[in-house]
Amino acid sequence: MQEVIIRLRRDLKEIEDALSASGVRGADLSKAKAKAHITLDYKAQRAKYFMNRFSHAIISAKSCVKELEEQHKSMIMTQSNVSAMKELVARFETECNDSHFSNAEKTLKDMKSLLPKVDMQTTEKIAYDIPALPNAIMLEVTEDLSELKRCLDANCLRSAIILCGRILETILHRKYYEHTNNDLLETSPGIGLGKIIAKMSDAKISLPVGLNEQIHLINNVRIMSVHKKKRIFAPSKGQTQAIVLFTLDTVRTLFSGK
């Protein structure tokens, strides 16, 4: 629960930074929306970059609120505050979509005020411990986690996120195999993370709340890191740490009974 609060706090900070970075305000972001993909206007393109940044953070924040709704019995954050946070996130998203950015900034302050005080030093001391995994994947996941930690420590953020995708792919393949006795690596080689999740849902395998949203973010980083794009996505340290924490939570959730 504490890690979810930390991730949500990071998301709100990411939104705040993206809205205010280098003087980008409501008028500029509105211009970015109006010009869409065909603009050659540098300011509009720059504003569009920041708009994409906080759009990703909004998706992540909504995912965190869903997790808080599921975990409210731990009482780190009261149910009434979780409900209020859910309403504020929805209001904030609507205000941004309608270009009411002065209202959105006030809503953002209200969201931040609801968060309980949590030791933020945890952001620099991520616990990489995981439960015992099946022998077939234990060494592979352990080595990936070691490399993930090195990447994060070295501030190689895109590399860290790509490794999160690899770890999720490994554990999801294994979980599907254990549940169905069908090895997708043999029957569907090259299957993407999104399709794996769809197959797991069809097989009635319980998955962590917000997994689809995190996979979407990871896939975007993978694509933009491998292929030439007009826009470069540079994840922040906070975004990356949040994805790392979610990945570790997912490993623990899926294999906590091992």
Answer yes or no: CATH 1.10.287 is held by domain 130-255: no
Closest by CA to 86, choosing from 98, 74, 97, 78, is 78
Secondary structure class of 64 (helix, strand, coil): helix
Measure the CA–CA gap between 248 and 12, rounded to whole angstroms.
21
Residue ranges of domains in the chain: 2-118, 130-255
Model confidence band, residue 163 (pLDDT cutoffs 50, 70, 90): very high
| pTM of the model as a whole | 0.54
Do 233 and 221 touch, CB atoms closer than 8 A?
yes
pLDDT in tens, 109-160: 888 887 765 444 444 467 788 888 999 999 999 999 999 999 988 889 999 9
Position of tokens 């979509």? 97
pLDDT in tens, 54-91: 677 788 888 888 877 776 544 456 677 788 888 888 88
Over 60: is that where the pLDDT of 103 sits? yes
High-pLDDT (> 90) share of the chain, %: 17
Do 165 and 141 touch, CB atoms closer than 8 A?
no
DSSP letters spanning 73-137: GG-SS-HHHHHHHHHHHHHHHHHHHTT-HHHHHHHHHHHHHHSPP--GGGGGS---------HHH
Do 197 and 214 touch, CB atoms closer than 8 A?
no
Do 47 and 32 touch, CB atoms closer than 8 A?
yes
- Of 122-136, 185-199, 238-252, give the lowest mean pLDDT range: 122-136
Query: 127 CB contacts (<8 Å, ≥6 apart)?
Result: 248
pLDDT in tens, 55-65: 777 888 888 88
Q: How large is the average pLDDT for residues 37-63? A: 67
Model confidence band, residue 21 (pLDDT cutoffs 50, 70, 90): low
